[in-house]
Structure 1
Amino acid sequence: MNVVLREVRDADLSVLHAQSIEPEALHLAAFTADDPTDRTRFDAHWSRIRTNPQVVLRAVTAGADGELLGHAAVYGSPDEREVTYWIGRAHWGRGVATAALRALLVTVPERPLHARVAADNAGSLRVLHACGFRVTGRERSFAAARGEEIEELLLTLTALTAP
Protein backbone atom coordinates (compact mmCIF):
# COMPACT_ATOMS: atom_id res chain seq x y z
CA MET A 1 0.00 0.00 0.00
CA ASN A 2 1.36 3.39 -1.00
CA VAL A 3 0.59 5.68 1.94
CA VAL A 4 1.76 9.21 2.53
CA LEU A 5 2.01 10.87 5.93
CA ARG A 6 1.31 14.60 6.18
CA GLU A 7 0.36 17.15 8.81
CA VAL A 8 -3.19 16.91 10.12
CA ARG A 9 -5.39 19.71 8.77
CA ASP A 10 -8.51 21.27 10.25
CA ALA A 11 -10.50 19.81 7.35
CA ASP A 12 -9.43 16.28 8.42
CA LEU A 13 -11.10 16.40 11.81
CA SER A 14 -14.62 15.46 10.69
CA VAL A 15 -13.35 12.34 8.93
CA LEU A 16 -11.07 11.40 11.83
CA HIS A 17 -13.95 11.82 14.28
CA ALA A 18 -16.25 9.66 12.15
CA GLN A 19 -13.55 6.97 11.99
CA SER A 20 -13.06 7.13 15.75
CA ILE A 21 -16.67 6.22 16.50
CA GLU A 22 -17.04 3.23 14.15
CA PRO A 23 -18.47 0.50 16.44
CA GLU A 24 -16.16 -2.33 15.35
CA ALA A 25 -13.10 -0.07 15.57
CA LEU A 26 -14.09 1.09 19.05
CA HIS A 27 -14.46 -2.51 20.21
CA LEU A 28 -11.05 -3.51 18.88
CA ALA A 29 -9.26 -0.38 20.10
CA ALA A 30 -10.95 -0.89 23.49
CA PHE A 31 -8.99 1.82 25.34
CA THR A 32 -10.85 4.93 24.22
CA ALA A 33 -12.36 8.08 25.65
CA ASP A 34 -15.27 7.52 28.02
CA ASP A 35 -17.63 9.02 25.43
CA PRO A 36 -15.97 8.92 22.00
CA THR A 37 -19.06 10.45 20.39
CA ASP A 38 -18.56 13.74 22.31
CA ARG A 39 -17.38 15.98 19.45
CA THR A 40 -16.56 18.90 21.76
CA ARG A 41 -14.21 16.72 23.80
CA PHE A 42 -12.76 15.25 20.59
CA ASP A 43 -12.03 18.72 19.20
CA ALA A 44 -10.44 19.88 22.47
CA HIS A 45 -8.23 16.77 22.59
CA TRP A 46 -7.12 17.21 18.99
CA SER A 47 -6.41 20.89 19.56
CA ARG A 48 -4.13 19.94 22.48
CA ILE A 49 -2.23 17.20 20.66
CA ARG A 50 -1.82 19.20 17.45
CA THR A 51 -0.09 22.00 19.36
CA ASN A 52 1.99 19.80 21.67
CA PRO A 53 5.62 19.79 20.44
CA GLN A 54 6.21 16.37 22.03
CA VAL A 55 3.55 14.78 19.80
CA VAL A 56 4.40 13.70 16.27
CA LEU A 57 0.97 13.48 14.64
CA ARG A 58 0.38 12.65 11.00
CA ALA A 59 -2.60 12.12 8.73
CA VAL A 60 -2.40 8.88 6.76
CA THR A 61 -3.35 9.41 3.11
CA ALA A 62 -3.19 7.43 -0.11
CA GLY A 63 -3.92 7.66 -3.78
CA ALA A 64 -3.54 10.46 -6.27
CA ASP A 65 -6.27 12.45 -4.52
CA GLY A 66 -4.68 12.03 -1.08
CA GLU A 67 -7.71 10.26 0.43
CA LEU A 68 -7.61 10.46 4.24
CA LEU A 69 -7.34 6.93 5.63
CA GLY A 70 -6.61 7.65 9.31
CA HIS A 71 -3.84 8.96 11.52
CA ALA A 72 -0.65 7.81 13.25
CA ALA A 73 1.29 9.40 16.10
CA VAL A 74 4.09 9.16 18.62
CA TYR A 75 3.54 10.76 22.01
CA GLY A 76 4.68 10.69 25.61
CA SER A 77 7.66 11.64 27.71
CA PRO A 78 11.13 10.96 26.27
CA ASP A 79 11.59 7.76 28.30
CA GLU A 80 8.13 6.36 27.51
CA ARG A 81 7.42 7.30 23.88
CA GLU A 82 4.43 5.39 22.54
CA VAL A 83 2.94 4.87 19.08
CA THR A 84 -0.73 4.97 18.23
CA TYR A 85 -2.65 4.76 14.99
CA TRP A 86 -6.24 4.60 13.83
CA ILE A 87 -7.24 3.59 10.33
CA GLY A 88 -10.82 3.93 9.11
CA ARG A 89 -12.72 0.64 8.96
CA ALA A 90 -13.21 0.92 5.19
CA HIS A 91 -9.43 0.65 4.74
CA TRP A 92 -8.70 -2.38 6.94
CA GLY A 93 -7.06 -5.47 5.49
CA ARG A 94 -5.14 -3.59 2.77
CA GLY A 95 -1.81 -3.03 4.56
CA VAL A 96 -2.56 0.62 5.36
CA ALA A 97 -1.79 0.43 9.09
CA THR A 98 1.48 -1.43 8.53
CA ALA A 99 2.62 0.99 5.82
CA ALA A 100 1.61 4.00 7.92
CA LEU A 101 3.40 2.75 11.03
CA ARG A 102 6.54 1.91 9.04
CA ALA A 103 6.55 5.41 7.56
CA LEU A 104 6.06 6.93 11.00
CA LEU A 105 8.95 4.88 12.42
CA VAL A 106 11.24 6.33 9.74
CA THR A 107 10.05 9.84 10.66
CA VAL A 108 10.66 9.23 14.38
CA PRO A 109 14.01 7.40 14.67
CA GLU A 110 14.22 7.50 18.49
CA ARG A 111 14.13 4.15 20.27
CA PRO A 112 12.82 2.48 22.26
CA LEU A 113 9.21 3.08 21.30
CA HIS A 114 6.29 1.41 23.02
CA ALA A 115 2.78 0.33 22.05
CA ARG A 116 -0.28 -1.08 23.78
CA VAL A 117 -2.95 -3.26 22.25
CA ALA A 118 -5.98 -5.20 23.44
CA ALA A 119 -4.80 -8.82 23.58
CA ASP A 120 -7.66 -9.93 21.30
CA ASN A 121 -6.94 -7.29 18.62
CA ALA A 122 -5.19 -9.71 16.27
CA GLY A 123 -5.02 -7.24 13.36
CA SER A 124 -3.23 -4.54 15.32
CA LEU A 125 -0.93 -7.10 16.91
CA ARG A 126 0.05 -8.30 13.40
CA VAL A 127 0.79 -4.69 12.37
CA LEU A 128 3.00 -4.10 15.42
CA HIS A 129 4.87 -7.39 14.95
CA ALA A 130 5.40 -6.63 11.24
CA CYS A 131 7.00 -3.33 12.25
CA GLY A 132 9.39 -4.95 14.73
CA PHE A 133 7.53 -4.51 18.03
CA ARG A 134 7.75 -7.41 20.48
CA VAL A 135 5.52 -8.23 23.44
CA THR A 136 7.29 -7.24 26.65
CA GLY A 137 4.45 -7.44 29.14
CA ARG A 138 0.78 -7.95 29.91
CA GLU A 139 -1.63 -6.24 32.23
CA ARG A 140 -5.33 -5.99 32.89
CA SER A 141 -6.76 -2.53 32.32
CA PHE A 142 -10.20 -0.96 32.12
CA ALA A 143 -11.32 -0.63 28.49
CA ALA A 144 -13.90 2.17 28.29
CA ALA A 145 -15.19 1.03 24.88
CA ARG A 146 -16.04 -2.36 26.36
CA GLY A 147 -17.01 -1.26 29.85
CA GLU A 148 -14.81 -3.86 31.54
CA GLU A 149 -11.25 -4.83 32.36
CA ILE A 150 -9.47 -6.74 29.60
CA GLU A 151 -5.99 -8.03 28.94
CA GLU A 152 -3.66 -5.54 27.31
CA LEU A 153 -0.34 -6.40 25.69
CA LEU A 154 2.64 -4.06 26.11
CA LEU A 155 5.09 -4.01 23.21
CA THR A 156 8.49 -2.43 22.61
CA LEU A 157 10.52 -1.60 19.52
CA THR A 158 14.24 -1.35 20.26
CA ALA A 159 15.78 -1.47 16.78
CA LEU A 160 17.20 1.78 15.41
CA THR A 161 15.22 1.52 12.18
CA ALA A 162 11.96 -0.03 11.11
CA PRO A 163 12.32 -3.55 9.67
Structure 2
Amino acid sequence: MAEVALRSVEDADLDALFEQMRDPESVRMAAFTAKDPDDREAFDRHMAKIRASPDTTLRAVTLDGHLVGTISCFVVEGDTEITYWIDRPVWGQGVASRALALFLDLVGTRPLHARAASDNLGSLRVLEKAGFTRVGTETSFAQARDAEIEETVLRLG
Protein backbone atom coordinates (compact mmCIF):
# COMPACT_ATOMS: atom_id res chain seq x y z
CA MET A 1 0.00 0.00 0.00
CA ALA A 2 1.24 3.49 -0.83
CA GLU A 3 2.42 5.57 2.12
CA VAL A 4 0.60 8.79 2.96
CA ALA A 5 2.53 11.16 5.21
CA LEU A 6 2.36 14.75 6.45
CA ARG A 7 5.22 17.24 6.61
CA SER A 8 5.73 20.98 6.78
CA VAL A 9 4.96 22.97 3.64
CA GLU A 10 8.21 24.17 2.07
CA ASP A 11 8.87 27.06 -0.30
CA ALA A 12 9.72 24.50 -2.98
CA ASP A 13 6.13 23.15 -2.75
CA LEU A 14 4.42 26.37 -3.75
CA ASP A 15 4.61 25.97 -7.55
CA ALA A 16 3.07 22.49 -7.41
CA LEU A 17 0.40 23.55 -4.92
CA PHE A 18 -0.54 26.51 -7.10
CA GLU A 19 -1.00 24.17 -10.08
CA GLN A 20 -3.06 21.70 -8.01
CA MET A 21 -5.31 24.46 -6.71
CA ARG A 22 -6.14 25.76 -10.18
CA ASP A 23 -7.25 22.46 -11.71
CA PRO A 24 -10.74 23.31 -13.04
CA GLU A 25 -12.50 20.12 -11.87
CA SER A 26 -10.91 20.34 -8.41
CA VAL A 27 -11.89 23.99 -8.13
CA ARG A 28 -15.49 23.20 -9.13
CA MET A 29 -15.76 20.42 -6.52
CA ALA A 30 -14.18 22.51 -3.77
CA ALA A 31 -16.54 25.37 -4.72
CA PHE A 32 -15.34 27.74 -1.98
CA THR A 33 -12.03 28.79 -3.48
CA ALA A 34 -10.02 31.86 -4.34
CA LYS A 35 -11.82 34.43 -6.47
CA ASP A 36 -9.35 33.79 -9.30
CA PRO A 37 -7.47 30.47 -9.02
CA ASP A 38 -5.06 31.67 -11.74
CA ASP A 39 -3.93 34.71 -9.72
CA ARG A 40 -0.45 33.67 -8.55
CA GLU A 41 0.16 36.86 -6.57
CA ALA A 42 -3.04 36.31 -4.55
CA PHE A 43 -2.07 32.65 -4.00
CA ASP A 44 1.40 33.65 -2.77
CA ARG A 45 -0.07 36.28 -0.40
CA HIS A 46 -2.58 33.75 0.97
CA MET A 47 0.07 31.06 1.49
CA ALA A 48 2.42 33.52 3.21
CA LYS A 49 -0.39 34.61 5.52
CA ILE A 50 -1.48 31.11 6.54
CA ARG A 51 2.10 29.84 6.90
CA ALA A 52 2.83 32.72 9.29
CA SER A 53 -0.41 32.52 11.29
CA PRO A 54 -0.12 31.14 14.84
CA ASP A 55 -3.79 30.06 14.58
CA THR A 56 -3.14 27.82 11.56
CA THR A 57 -1.65 24.34 11.38
CA LEU A 58 -0.70 23.60 7.77
CA ARG A 59 0.84 20.38 6.47
CA ALA A 60 1.80 19.06 3.06
CA VAL A 61 0.28 15.70 2.16
CA THR A 62 2.64 13.29 0.44
CA LEU A 63 2.06 9.95 -1.25
CA ASP A 64 5.19 7.79 -1.41
CA GLY A 65 7.18 11.00 -0.88
CA HIS A 66 5.47 12.97 -3.66
CA LEU A 67 3.49 16.12 -2.84
CA VAL A 68 -0.22 15.51 -3.46
CA GLY A 69 -1.93 18.24 -1.45
CA THR A 70 -2.35 20.08 1.81
CA ILE A 71 -4.37 19.79 4.98
CA SER A 72 -4.81 22.47 7.61
CA CYS A 73 -6.90 23.85 10.40
CA PHE A 74 -7.52 27.48 11.27
CA VAL A 75 -9.66 29.52 13.63
CA VAL A 76 -12.71 31.34 12.29
CA GLU A 77 -15.04 33.20 14.64
CA GLY A 78 -13.76 31.13 17.57
CA ASP A 79 -14.23 27.76 15.86
CA THR A 80 -11.37 25.63 14.58
CA GLU A 81 -12.10 24.47 11.03
CA ILE A 82 -10.29 21.87 9.00
CA THR A 83 -9.74 21.94 5.26
CA TYR A 84 -7.79 19.89 2.77
CA TRP A 85 -6.91 19.84 -0.91
CA ILE A 86 -5.89 16.63 -2.63
CA ASP A 87 -4.55 16.55 -6.19
CA ARG A 88 -7.19 15.15 -8.53
CA PRO A 89 -5.04 12.35 -10.05
CA VAL A 90 -5.03 10.61 -6.63
CA TRP A 91 -8.74 11.03 -5.81
CA GLY A 92 -10.42 7.78 -4.86
CA GLN A 93 -7.23 6.16 -3.56
CA GLY A 94 -7.83 6.79 0.15
CA VAL A 95 -5.25 9.58 0.34
CA ALA A 96 -7.62 12.15 1.87
CA SER A 97 -8.88 9.65 4.45
CA ARG A 98 -5.36 8.65 5.50
CA ALA A 99 -4.13 12.25 5.57
CA LEU A 100 -7.12 13.29 7.68
CA ALA A 101 -6.51 10.46 10.17
CA LEU A 102 -2.86 11.50 10.51
CA PHE A 103 -3.83 15.15 10.92
CA LEU A 104 -6.42 14.37 13.59
CA ASP A 105 -3.68 12.55 15.55
CA LEU A 106 -1.45 15.62 15.18
CA VAL A 107 -4.05 18.24 16.15
CA GLY A 108 -5.73 17.60 19.49
CA THR A 109 -8.13 20.53 19.30
CA ARG A 110 -11.76 19.51 19.67
CA PRO A 111 -14.31 20.28 18.56
CA LEU A 112 -13.20 20.61 14.96
CA HIS A 113 -15.52 21.86 12.25
CA ALA A 114 -15.53 21.21 8.52
CA ARG A 115 -17.54 22.39 5.55
CA ALA A 116 -18.07 20.94 2.11
CA ALA A 117 -20.29 21.68 -0.82
CA SER A 118 -23.30 19.45 -0.25
CA ASP A 119 -22.82 17.83 -3.67
CA ASN A 120 -19.16 16.99 -2.91
CA LEU A 121 -20.03 13.45 -1.84
CA GLY A 122 -16.43 12.24 -1.80
CA SER A 123 -15.33 14.88 0.69
CA LEU A 124 -18.39 14.33 2.85
CA ARG A 125 -17.60 10.57 2.95
CA VAL A 126 -13.99 11.28 3.98
CA LEU A 127 -15.12 13.53 6.83
CA GLU A 128 -17.84 11.19 8.07
CA LYS A 129 -15.49 8.19 7.95
CA ALA A 130 -13.16 10.16 10.27
CA GLY A 131 -15.99 10.67 12.76
CA PHE A 132 -17.35 14.07 11.72
CA THR A 133 -21.13 14.34 11.95
CA ARG A 134 -23.41 16.60 9.96
CA VAL A 135 -24.75 19.43 12.09
CA GLY A 136 -26.45 21.58 9.49
CA THR A 137 -26.39 23.29 6.14
CA GLU A 138 -25.91 26.85 4.99
CA THR A 139 -26.31 28.59 1.70
CA SER A 140 -23.19 30.50 0.75
CA PHE A 141 -21.68 32.10 -2.33
CA ALA A 142 -19.22 29.74 -4.03
CA GLN A 143 -16.62 31.66 -6.05
CA ALA A 144 -15.80 28.63 -8.18
CA ARG A 145 -19.39 28.24 -9.30
CA ASP A 146 -20.33 31.92 -9.29
CA ALA A 147 -23.52 31.02 -7.45
CA GLU A 148 -25.09 30.48 -4.06
CA ILE A 149 -24.92 26.78 -3.18
CA GLU A 150 -25.70 24.57 -0.22
CA GLU A 151 -22.80 23.80 2.07
CA THR A 152 -22.86 21.01 4.66
CA VAL A 153 -21.41 21.85 8.09
CA LEU A 154 -19.83 19.01 10.09
CA ARG A 155 -18.36 18.68 13.59
CA LEU A 156 -15.96 16.30 15.33
CA GLY A 157 -15.79 15.98 19.10
TM range (shorter): over 0.9
How does the TM-score come out when normalised to structure 2?
0.97
Segment of structure 1 superposing worse, 131-140 or 69-78: 69-78
Aligned to 2:133: 134
Query: Over the residues paired in the alignment, what is the CA RMSD in angstroms?
Result: 1.1
CA distance in 2, matches of 1:78, 1:60: 26
Aligned to 1:104: 103
CA separation of 1:104/1:78 partners in 2, compared to 1, >3 Å: closer, same or farther? farther
CA distance in 2, matches of 1:129, 1:53: 28
Q: Deviations over 1:52-85 (max 9, x none)?
A: 111000000121xx10010000101583000000
CA distance in 2, matches of 1:5, 1:78: 27
1:16 paired with 2:17, answer yes
Identity score, percent = 51
Q: How far is the alpha carbon of 1:2 from its aligned partner?
A: 2.3
Segment of structure 1 superposing worse, 70-79 or 19-28: 70-79
2:53 maps to amino acid: N
Q: How far is the alpha carbon of 1:99 from its aligned partner?
A: 0.5
Aligned to 2:86: 87
- 1:13-162 paired onto structure 2 within 5 Å: 13-63=14-64, 66-77=65-76, 79-158=78-157
How does the TM-score come out when normalised to structure 1?
0.93
- Could you list the runs of 5+ residues in structure 2 that have no partner in the other structure? none
CA contact (8 A) 1:2 1:99 kept: no
Q: Give the SS at the match of 2:110.
A: coil
1:33 maps to amino acid: A
Task: State the aligned residue count.
Answer: 156
CA distance in 1, matches of 2:36, 2:47: 15
